[in-house]
């Protein structure tokens, strides 16, 4: 977004773990809210945050989740409700940063606390997200809008605070964006990502490799 300052508008961590699922036996940490001050960020995410289902959430390839305030504004209008930081389960709410068109493997330097992160893959909406939002057909609507936000890998540990500038310091040459992986993950996109991974241009998240292989095999 040329001429617009890219920054972290809020840093969010889990507020409360909730029961979820048909029998209430599951647990989710999707309930996140903003924290004040400068917060440490390590290989597994923002200090004070947690994930309850390591099979689908968290880990080095999904250490931090970023969602853009520009996309929040779309949903605030669409849903006619306020959507404060953390509503989407995001750790970083960003402003002035085109998260949907970030490239897989793109790197962001955040603030002056040494933090360097790398875009890995789009968020996949699930039934827990739908239950949390309380909106009919939410997964389908969120998917159709095509702005999933991005998971980030921590390349260099550091700290983050609301108001920190975000600078894109590296963009790989394969051209495949988070939005394309989410919405139009076709054969060409799969092949280009796999080639980029094989050449060492990017380190693909294991989950994205599976999707890329599936896409590349399509006729």
Residue 43 lies in a domain: yes
Beta strands in 62-137 (DSSP E): 64-68, 92-95, 107-110, 115-122
Statement: residue 117 has pLDDT above 90 = yes
Using the Cα atoms of residue 23, residue 27, residue 28 and residue 29 in order, give the sign of their dihedral. positive
Count of the separate structural domains present in the chain: 1
* CATH (domain of 156): 2.40.33.20
Residue 64 lies in a domain: yes
Residue 186 lies in a domain: no
Question: pTM of whole model > 0.85?
Answer: yes
Q: Where are the alpha helices (DSSP H) in the chain?
A: 69-79, 127-133, 138-145, 178-183, 187-199, 206-216
Backbone region of residue 84 per phi and psi (left: phi > 0; alpha: psi in -120 to 50; beta: other values): beta
- Distance from C-alpha of 163 to C-alpha of 13, rounded to nearest angstrom: 16
Residue 18 lies in a domain: yes
Identify whether the C-beta of residue 71 lies closer than 8 Å to the C-beta of residue 149: yes
- Distance from C-alpha of 121 to C-alpha of 137, rounded to nearest angstrom: 23
Residue 183 lies in a domain: no
Per-residue pLDDT reduced to its tens digit, 40-94? 999 999 999 988 676 667 899 999 999 999 999 999 999 999 999 999 999 999 9
Residue 185 lies in a domain: no
Domain range enclosing 108: 7-174
* Amino acid 24: pLDDT: 66
Residue 63 lies in a domain: yes
* Amino acid 85: pLDDT: 98
Question: Residue 1's pLDDT band (boundaries 50, 70, 90)?
Answer: low
Q: How many CA atoms lie within 13 A of 146 on its CB side?
A: 9
Structure tokens at 62: 């999904």
Residue 52 lies in a domain: yes
């Amino acid at each position: 977004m040329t001429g617009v300052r890219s920054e972290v508008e809020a840093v969010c961590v889990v507020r409360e773990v909730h029961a979820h699922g048909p029998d209430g036996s599951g647990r989710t940490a999707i309930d996140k809210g903003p924290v004040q001050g400068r917060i440490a960020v390590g290989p597994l995410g923002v200090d004070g945050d947690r994930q309850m289902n390591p099979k689908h959430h968290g880990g080095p390839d999904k250490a931090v989740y970023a969602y853009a305030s520009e996309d929040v504004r779309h949903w605030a209008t669409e849903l006619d409700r306020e959507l404060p930081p953390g509503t989407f389960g995001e750790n970083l709410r960003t402003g002035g940063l085109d998260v949907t068109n970030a490239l897989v493997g793109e790197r962001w330097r955040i603030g002056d606390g040494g933090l360097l992160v790398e875009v890995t893959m789009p968020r996949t909406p699930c039934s827990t997200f739908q239950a949390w939002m309380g909106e009919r057909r939410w997964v389908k609507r969120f998917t159709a809008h095509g702005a999933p936000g991005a998971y980030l890998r921590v390349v260099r540990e550091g700290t983050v605070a609301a108001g920190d500038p975000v600078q894109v310091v590296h963009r790989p040459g394969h051209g495949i964006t988070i939005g394309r992986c989410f919405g139009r993950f076709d054969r060409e996109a799969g092949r280009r990502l796999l080639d980029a991974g094989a050449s060492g241009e990017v380190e693909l998240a294991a989950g994205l490799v599976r999707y890329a292989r599936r896409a590349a095999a399509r006729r």
